Structure formats: structure tokens, C-alpha cells
Amino acid sequence: MAKLLIVDDEADIREFAANFFSKRKIEVITASSGEEAVEITEKHKPDLILMDIKMNGINGIEALRRIKEKNKDAKVIMVTGRKPEDEGSFDQCQRLGALGYVHKPLELGELERVVMSALVK
């Protein structure tokens, strides 16, 4: 079963997304901070990481950098509040090797598609 790590500091979003993908036969693990995400990635080697950018502590971009440093094959999709090209972080995420991005509020159908196609790649 494919393993998905969901990283978000909002419990509401974490729980909803976890439930959403569990129903689609995906094993879901969650992290509530960037630091935790780095640790869990080390330990559980998820097939895909869904990473919120705006978080307390280290943000998603910094977590992405640390994860990629240790494991350059890790697949990470960034989740952002605005269009990332607006906040200038899109380029940064791409340079750091993010697989893609989605922005909130998001089409759940699109989220499903993006995650599923990344998992079969």
C-alpha cells in the first residue's frame, strides 16, 4: 500500500486529508510541523509527502530543503495558501526539487488527481 505523509500545523486539515486519502486505500501518516516531517521521513520513508508551506517553526520550504538534503529522491508536493508564483516561493520550491504544488482553497478532485498520479509515477 502506498504511503503518504501529510504535513500541516492545522489539525482540521491534517485529519480531513488523512481521512480523505485513507478512504482511497492509501496509508496515511501525519506530521504537525516541519521538524516532525523531517524526522518521520527519515524513519518511515513515505512514497509521497504533501507539505504545507506556511507553518509555525520551520516552514514547508525549509522542511523540503532538509528532507531533500538527506534523501534527494523524496517526492514532495507543496501546499500553499496563495498561488506560489505570487509569493516568489514557487521558483524556490522548484529549485529545491519539489514535485509540484497545489494552492488552497483547492479543488478536491484536483488534489486527488495530483496525489494519485504522483504515487503511480
Tell me whether residue 23 or residue 72 sits nearer to another protein (CB atom). Answer: 23
Closest distance between another protein and the C-beta of residue 69, in Å?
A: 30
First-to-final CA distance of the chain: 14
Tell me whether residue 50 or residue 74 sits nearer to another protein (CB atom). Answer: 50
- Structural contact between residues 115 and 21, judged by C-beta atoms closer than 8 angstroms: yes
Closest distance between another protein and the C-beta of residue 106, in Å?
A: 6
Closest distance between another protein and the C-beta of residue 107, in Å?
A: 6
Tell me whether residue 88 or residue 109 sits nearer to another protein (CB atom). Answer: 109
Distances (CA, A) of 60 to 1, 67, 84: 25, 10, 12
H/E run at residue 119: helix 108-120
Tell me whether residue 44 or residue 106 sits nearer to another protein (CB atom). Answer: 106
Binding footprint of another protein on the chain (CB under 8 A): 10-13, 15-16, 18-19, 104-109, 112
Closest distance between another protein and the C-beta of residue 51, in Å?
A: 15
